[in-house]
Amino acid sequence: MTEFTYTIKDEAGMHARPAGILVKRMQQFKCDVTAGKGAKQVSLKKLFSLVGLGIKKGETVHIKADGEDEAEAIAAAREVIEREGL
């Protein structure tokens, strides 16, 4: 399992546009990828699940990947999050 933690900086939090970009990118990987806020974990391959976490500015999200291409998935997730200014 590979993981990283990120604190959201965007004023709007994890909103639909960047979340959609992130989900679309994660769907390209075979491994399981999850996002978590507190004790709740959801698939990072499902848009409504991710947006449903209600991640706001200043909150921390934990991204985890488990499977054959987990390192690549984590690197891609980090790249999308940083590029989109989350």
- Exactly one of 4, 10, 15, 59 is catalytic; which is it? 15
Sign for the CA dihedral angle at 10, 18, 12, 77 comes to: negative
Residue 82 to residue 4: CA distance in whole angstroms: 13
Q: How far is it, in rounded angstroms, from Cα 64 to Cα 47?
A: 16
Tell me whether residue 15 is one of the annotated catalytic residues.
yes
Place of tokens 């989900």: 23
Catalytic residues, by residue number, are: 15
